[in-house]
Amino acid sequence: MKTKTVVFPHASALFATTRDRHPQRRDPSGTNGNGAAGLATWRASILCVAVAVCVWAPSAFGQQKHYIKGTVKAIPVHDLTAAEGGIQPAVVPEGRFKADTVTPVKPPLPSWNYSVVAYDTKTYTGTILGRSPYYNGKTTTTLQAQIVPLIITIKDANGTVVYDPTAADTCAPGHTGVDIIVNSPLFTNNAWTMNSLSMGNTQYEDANQRAEFWSLLGNTPFHLTLQESTLSAQSLSFGTGGTSGPGSNYPTSVTSACEELGVVETNDMNNAIQTLITGSLAASVNVGTIPLFLTKNVVMSDGDTNLFGPNCCTLGFHSAFTVGTNLQVYGPFVVDTAQAFGPGFTGTMAHEVGEAINDPYPSGSTNQTPPWGNQGQVPAGQCQNNFEVGDPLSGGGVPPTSNNWVIAGANGLTYDLQELAFFSWFYGDPDLGTAGFYSNHGTFTGHSKACPPGGTFSASN
Amino acid sequence: MSNFTRSTQFSLAAGLFLLTATAGNVSDTVVQVTTLTNQAADSTINWTQLGADQTAVSASFGVTSTAGLSATVGLAATGGLATVVCSTAPPNATNCSWTGTGLPTGSEALWTTDGANGGHGPVTLTFGSSIFGAGALIQADAPGQFTAQIQAFNGAASLGSFTALSDSAGDAVYIGLKDTTAAHVSKVVFSLTACHGSCADFALGTIQLNTPSTTAYVLNLAVTPANGGTISGTLNGAPASCSSTCSVTGTGSSATLTATPAAGYTFASWTGCPTPSGATCTATLSGTLNISAAFTGSTSLTYTQGALVQNRSTGIFSRTVTVTNSGTAIAASAYVADGLPVGVSMVSPSGTTDSSAPPSGSPYLELGAIGGGGSVTKTIQFSRTGTQAITYTTRILGAGPR
């Protein structure tokens, strides 16, 4: 789901809050409607709709550094007419899971289908990237992740600023935005102990997938790894004279951040990315790869470019468009070297990549879940019904929220990674993950409660 | 003949499924094997030789059986893995990568994975030398019922194929075959014909083999007397023949021999043959075996004699006698004149009387040795005291063979 951030000036610092939005229709129960086709429907969870209701955490005040709040979201699947491959469904029969039929397609991202009878006795189906944990054989499956640096030029009344993730960064001396991400725990190995069990020396998303389906995997060599490659930087221009849409620069004097911030409109960014995928990147990006478009200190706002408006700020999202019978999964992410939205560089990316793996079809027709809410990114009174593993634990949302992983990288940088919810948190028991836990860092000890009113069971209830 | 395909429900009792196929000029009977026990393998191809769990294999690689038989394994593409079958189900599984049920825990299998949810099957095994049969446990990667298939080939010619259906859970099933005619199986192909997920994605357990024996057996043959005949036949299909004394070494344990007498001889008996039947001997060797065939020579003497001619000056009667030996060569022979009238005597040779047969005391003409097919001609003479007729009964004596 697409990630948004709303920025509120507060004294000399910025008071940030997280909010989701889902402008699509809702059913009377409060569940997101997620229209059947969903092709043009944005789907995201609104955590708070108005600024007035978004003030919460006392820790946001006082002497602590205050960050602009960023959110994450997914953009539904779009149709595209190009004849390419896509996701290849597989089969997952086990227990209350039933096998689905398979329609072989060409050079797709490896994926598997599930069909589950959830705690509400309804049957849900979906697709998850990687290799089925239900299969007899356990081995490493690789997803080709392509970092596409976006060199964004924004010209406005404040001047022209080039946001270049390939250039040496003044706020992270000795680093570029690209190397910060490439050397992050998303692409390098660390020894992960999740819920007291060793997931091995591996990447974060792999550790999460192992923990999420631990009861089916144990200490077998099942892995889902991201094979990173960095493609040639792509240039986009926004603002005055720009070709991709309006854009605004926000100097440090306005934000108190370490570097300038740029804001572009979310749809404009999405359109520009799709144009790149089907245009200048067509030779290297295909349905068998996941291009991750990396901006440096450029975030998105829905419908405007106002950093301080209610529609800002989206730090990244994951989405996909259909290519024939397959999907082209992609997403833009910001590397926040300005440290405007929080520390650790990779909180948003950990969230979104985890969601892209577990919910590659960000549309209403698949990967649905029993309605959940009053949790994380979904405020009380609202419900969400998709398998977005980051949203129930989005920082700053309805507690309990992410018990972030803080990892010291070999490059001397410290990375934050958001905790992710497990499959069984959404669908209920049996607990397929690390026994007794429903998220990867100990926060959830029970599965979600039916929404409304939502919430989460705990080990004690 | 072609397209011989039989399907079996694996749940059926281990029945006998026959398939008759033609491979080139050889008509073979091929039998499906549905259990490891019935395969009764004499050797195996163990996948542990590929390396540890998760060792990647190429699209074509060589293996060797426990009996030293070489084979080439072919996959559709590079990327298969050696996989160790877990002894304990997840989450307690460790040091293993195959969690399916039915393959022996702790054993190693060949997994045709492509690293995701597809595969690089089928698996083709081409043997260094032809065998009688092969089989293995097989299991689809995706849970759920599947149909396995084994195909056998003699060179490029199909010997047929069989299928086996797993249970609904998709536990491993055994699928194998035997060529009961001869060791004509040069290649087998394991595959899945129906499954959930990708049918190119499966694990193949240890390959069970029925191979021709490689034990060296020695068959010592002898013919008595030398040149009295020959022994011919096969030792596990290999030619075995001998006309005096010889030693035949083969890699099979089954021998079938026939004794054929030389001219002038007849077969007499076998010595050392476990199962003699007339001039035929069958034997199953468990080591070195000494077998001899005895032949008996035959005597077949005929004679012709000329007319008695009287020398008027001496009164002596003479005639020529020719004895022909169409039998075995003899060491000695004689022309006996039995029942000479009173007053008639043999004057040349003289003084020789036969006591070997009645009426004893008859005179005889020593003819000596006569080779097989040979003859001898001599002259005999008589005298008489009066005018009585010179009559007698001719008897030929032969002594041999020599």
Chain B residues with CB inside 8 Å of A219's CB?
Answer: 91, 93-95
Confidence (pLDDT) at B361: 78
Please tell me if residue B142 touches chain A, with a CB cutoff of 8 Å. Answer: yes
Chain B residues with CB inside 8 Å of A138's CB?
Answer: 97-99
Q: Are residues B74 and B114 in the same domain?
A: yes
Q: Are residues B289 and B306 in the same domain?
A: no
Global pTM value: 0.72
Q: Which residues have C-beta within 8 Å of that of residue A33, sequence separation ≥ 6?
A: A24, A25, A26, A27, A364
Kindly determine whether residue B203 and residue A136, on different chains, have CB atoms separated by under 8 Å.
yes
For residue B308, pLDDT beyond 60 = yes
Task: Identify the three-state secondary structure at position A299.
Answer: strand
Chain A residues with CB inside 8 Å of B90's CB?
Answer: 214-218, 220
Mean pLDDT calculated for residue range A140-146: 97
Please tell me if residue B81 touches chain A, with a CB cutoff of 8 Å. Answer: yes
Single residue among B210, B240, B264 that ends a domain in this structure:
B210
Please tell me if residue B108 touches chain A, with a CB cutoff of 8 Å. Answer: no
Mean pLDDT calculated for residue range B329-352: 84
Chain B residues with CB inside 8 Å of A96's CB?
Answer: none
Confidence (pLDDT) at B244: 81
State the nearest Cα–Cα gap between B85 and chain A, in angstroms: 9
Q: Best residue in B95, B114, B117 to probe A by mutation, most A CBs within 10 Å?
A: B117
For residue A83, pLDDT beyond 60 = no
Biggest alpha carbon distance in chain B?
130
Rounded Cα–Cα distance for residues B377 and A84 (Å): 107
Mean pLDDT calculated for residue range B62-85: 96
Kindly determine whether residue B141 and residue A137, on different chains, have CB atoms separated by under 8 Å.
yes
Kindly determine whether residue B141 and residue A136, on different chains, have CB atoms separated by under 8 Å.
yes
DSSP assignment of B342-385 equals TTEEEEES-S-EE-SSSSTTEEEEE---B-TT-EEEEEEEEEES
Please tell me if residue B197 touches chain A, with a CB cutoff of 8 Å. Answer: yes
Query: What percent of chain A is predicted at pLDDT more than 90?
Result: 70
Query: What percent of chain A is predicted at pLDDT more than 70?
Result: 76
Q: Are residues B247 and B122 in the same domain?
A: no
* Across A16-25, A227-236, B353-362, least confident range: A16-25
State the nearest Cα–Cα gap between A109 and chain B, in angstroms: 9
Kindly determine whether residue B198 and residue A139, on different chains, have CB atoms separated by under 8 Å.
no
Kindly determine whether residue B196 and residue A93, on different chains, have CB atoms separated by under 8 Å.
yes
Confidence (pLDDT) at A66: 55
Rounded Cα–Cα distance for residues A269 and A238 (Å): 9
Burial of B280 (0-12, 13-18, 19+ CB in 10 A): middle
| Start-to-end C-alpha separation, chain B | 58
Q: How confident is the prediction for chain B on average, in pLDDT?
A: 86
Confidence (pLDDT) at A383: 96
Q: Are residues B183 and B246 in the same domain?
A: no
Rounded Cα–Cα distance for residues B291 and A457 (Å): 88
What band does B399 get if pLDDT is binned at 50, 70 and 90?
low
Burial of B22 (0-12, 13-18, 19+ CB in 10 A): middle
Mean pLDDT calculated for residue range A394-399: 87
* Nearest CB neighbour to A214, from listed B91, B113, B141: B91
For the segment B228-256, what is each residue's pLDDT rounded down to a tens digit?
889 988 776 667 777 888 887 776 677 88
State the nearest Cα–Cα gap between A138 and chain B, in angstroms: 5
Kindly determine whether residue B197 and residue A90, on different chains, have CB atoms separated by under 8 Å.
yes
For residue B108, pLDDT beyond 90 = yes
Q: Are residues B77 and B197 in the same domain?
A: yes
Confidence (pLDDT) at B326: 80
Rounded Cα–Cα distance for residues A38 and A198 (Å): 39
* Nearest CB neighbour to A136, from listed B81, B116, B139: B139
Query: What percent of chain B is predicted at pLDDT more than 90?
Result: 58
Sign of the Cα pseudo-torsion (A415, A421, A423, A424, in order): positive
Nearest to A269 by CA among A319, A200, A221: A319
Q: Best residue in A113, A135, A422 to probe B by mutation, most B CBs within 10 Å?
A: A135
State the nearest Cα–Cα gap between B129 and chain A, in angstroms: 32
What are the residue boundaries of the structural domains of chain A, listed by start?
72-368+403-427
Rounded Cα–Cα distance for residues B399 and A253 (Å): 138
Q: Are A317 and A42 in contact (CB under 8 A)?
A: no
Mean pLDDT calculated for residue range A424-446: 96
* Nearest CB neighbour to A220, from listed B81, B96, B115: B96
Kindly determine whether residue B81 and residue A137, on different chains, have CB atoms separated by under 8 Å.
yes
Amino acid at A67: Y
- CATH number, domain with residue B366: 2.60.40.10
State the nearest Cα–Cα gap between A262 and chain B, in angstroms: 40
Chain A residues with CB inside 8 Å of B98's CB?
Answer: 136-138
* Nearest CB neighbour to B97, from listed A88, A134, A220: A220
Q: Are residues B83 and B100 in the same domain?
A: yes
Chain B residues with CB inside 8 Å of A220's CB?
Answer: 86, 90, 93-94, 96-97, 99
Kindly determine whether residue B116 and residue A131, on different chains, have CB atoms separated by under 8 Å.
yes
For residue B148, pLDDT beyond 60 = yes
Confidence (pLDDT) at A461: 65
Chains A & B: contacts with CB separation below 8 Å: 110
* B100 to chain A: closest CA residue: A136
Q: Scan residues 330-359 of B and list those with Cβ closer than 8 Å to A.
A: none
What band does A60 get if pLDDT is binned at 50, 70 and 90?
very low
Q: Scan residues 202-261 of B and list those with Cβ closer than 8 Å to A.
A: 203
Confidence (pLDDT) at B89: 93
Rounded Cα–Cα distance for residues B276 and B282 (Å): 6
Q: Which residue segment(s) compose the domain that B88 sits in?
A: 5-210
Rounded Cα–Cα distance for residues A256 and A260 (Å): 9
Percentages of chain A per state (helix, strand, coil), in multiples of 5: 15, 35, 50
* Nearest CB neighbour to B115, from listed A132, A141, A435: A141
What band does B225 get if pLDDT is binned at 50, 70 and 90?
confident
Q: Which residues have C-beta within 8 Å of that of residue A435, sequence separation ≥ 6?
A: A214, A215, B91
Q: Are A332 and A295 in contact (CB under 8 A)?
A: yes
* Nearest CB neighbour to B94, from listed A91, A130, A219: A219
Mean pLDDT calculated for residue range B105-119: 95
Please tell me if residue B139 touches chain A, with a CB cutoff of 8 Å. Answer: yes
Amino acid at A455: G
Chain B residues with CB inside 8 Å of A142's CB?
Answer: 115
Q: Are residues B184 and B224 in the same domain?
A: no
Confidence (pLDDT) at A41: 25
Confidence (pLDDT) at A25: 22
Single residue among B277, B297, B317 that ends a domain in this structure:
B297
* Nearest CB neighbour to A99, from listed B81, B116, B144: B144
Q: Are residues B142 and B167 in the same domain?
A: yes
Chain B residues with CB inside 8 Å of A357's CB?
Answer: none
What band does B398 get if pLDDT is binned at 50, 70 and 90?
confident
Q: Are residues B167 and B243 in the same domain?
A: no
Q: Are residues B48 and B117 in the same domain?
A: yes
Q: Which residue has the higher pLDDT, B265 or A77?
A: B265
* Nearest CB neighbour to B97, from listed A90, A93, A221: A221
* Nearest CB neighbour to B115, from listed A90, A142, A435: A142
The helix (run of H) or strand (run of E) holding residue A24 is: none
Kindly determine whether residue A91 and residue B118, on different chains, have CB atoms separated by under 8 Å.
no
Kindly determine whether residue A110 and residue B116, on different chains, have CB atoms separated by under 8 Å.
yes
State the nearest Cα–Cα gap between B17 and chain A, in angstroms: 30
Kindly determine whether residue A141 and residue B116, on different chains, have CB atoms separated by under 8 Å.
yes
Kindly determine whether residue A94 and residue B143, on different chains, have CB atoms separated by under 8 Å.
yes
Confidence (pLDDT) at B252: 63
For the segment A325-342, what is each residue's pLDDT rounded down to a tens digit?
888 999 999 999 999 998
Rounded Cα–Cα distance for residues A257 and A339 (Å): 6
Single residue among B251, B275, B297 that ends a domain in this structure:
B297
Q: Are residues B272 and B383 in the same domain?
A: no
Its ipTM equals: 0.79
Task: Identify the three-state secondary structure at position A212.
Answer: helix
Mean pLDDT calculated for residue range A407-413: 95
* Across A222-236, B61-75, B267-281, B336-350, least confident range: B336-350
Q: Are residues B168 and B231 in the same domain?
A: no
For residue B294, pLDDT beyond 60 = yes
For the segment B131-145, what is each residue's pLDDT rounded down to a tens digit?
999 999 999 999 999
Confidence (pLDDT) at A87: 31
Kindly determine whether residue A215 and residue B90, on different chains, have CB atoms separated by under 8 Å.
yes
For the segment A248-291, what is each residue's pLDDT rounded down to a tens digit?
999 999 998 999 999 999 999 999 999 999 999 999 999 999 99
Q: Scan residues 145-184 of B and list those with Cβ closer than 8 Å to A.
A: 170
Please tell me if residue B105 touches chain A, with a CB cutoff of 8 Å. Answer: no
Nearest to A391 by CA among A342, A356, A433, A365: A356
* B112 to chain A: closest CA residue: A137
* Nearest CB neighbour to A135, from listed B91, B95, B141: B141
Sign of the Cα pseudo-torsion (A207, A208, A209, A211, in order): positive
Long-range contacts from B308-311, C-beta under 8 angstroms, 24+ separation: B308/B382, B308/B390
Confidence (pLDDT) at B213: 73
* B119 to chain A: closest CA residue: A137
Domain count, chain B: 3
